[in-house]
Amino acid sequence: MYFSQYLFLGLPNFFKGSVVILEVLNSPNLKVVKCLDVLYDNKYTKKQDIKKAFYFYNKSCELNNGYVCNHIGFMYEVGKGINKNLNKSTKYYQKSYNLGNNVGCTFLGENYIFGKGIKINKLKALHVYRKSWDYGYSIGCIKYIYYSTSKKK
Q: Would you tell me how many other CB atoms lie within 10 Å of the CB of residue 128?
A: 26
- If asked whether residues 77 and 58 sit together in one domain, one would say no
Q: Give yes or no for residue 81 having a pLDDT over 90.
A: no
For residues 130 and 144, the answer to whether their CB atoms sit within 8 Å is yes
**Residue span of the structural domain in which 141 resides:** 66-153
CATH number at residue 100: 1.25.40.10
- If asked whether residues 149 and 77 sit together in one domain, one would say yes
- If asked whether residues 140 and 99 sit together in one domain, one would say yes
Question: H/E/C letters for each residue in 46-89?
Answer: CCCCHHHHHHHHHHHHHCCCHHHHHHHHHHHHHCCCCCCCHHHH
| pTM recorded for the entire structure | 0.70
DSSP summary character for residue 146: H
- If asked whether residues 85 and 130 sit together in one domain, one would say yes
- What residues contact 71, with CB distance under 8 A and at least 6 apart? 37, 57
Q: What share of the chain is helix, strand, coil (3-state, %, to 5)?
A: 70, 0, 30
Q: Give yes or no for residue 108 having a pLDDT over 90.
A: yes
Model confidence at 125, pLDDT cuts 50, 70, 90, reads very high
CA dihedral in degrees (45, 50, 54, 57; nearest 10)?
20
- pLDDT tens per residue, range 13-61: 333 333 344 344 444 444 445 555 545 555 555 566 778 778 888 888 8
- If asked whether residues 16 and 47 sit together in one domain, one would say yes
116: left (phi over 0), alpha (psi -120 to 50) or beta: beta
- pLDDT tens per residue, range 57-74: 888 888 888 888 998 999
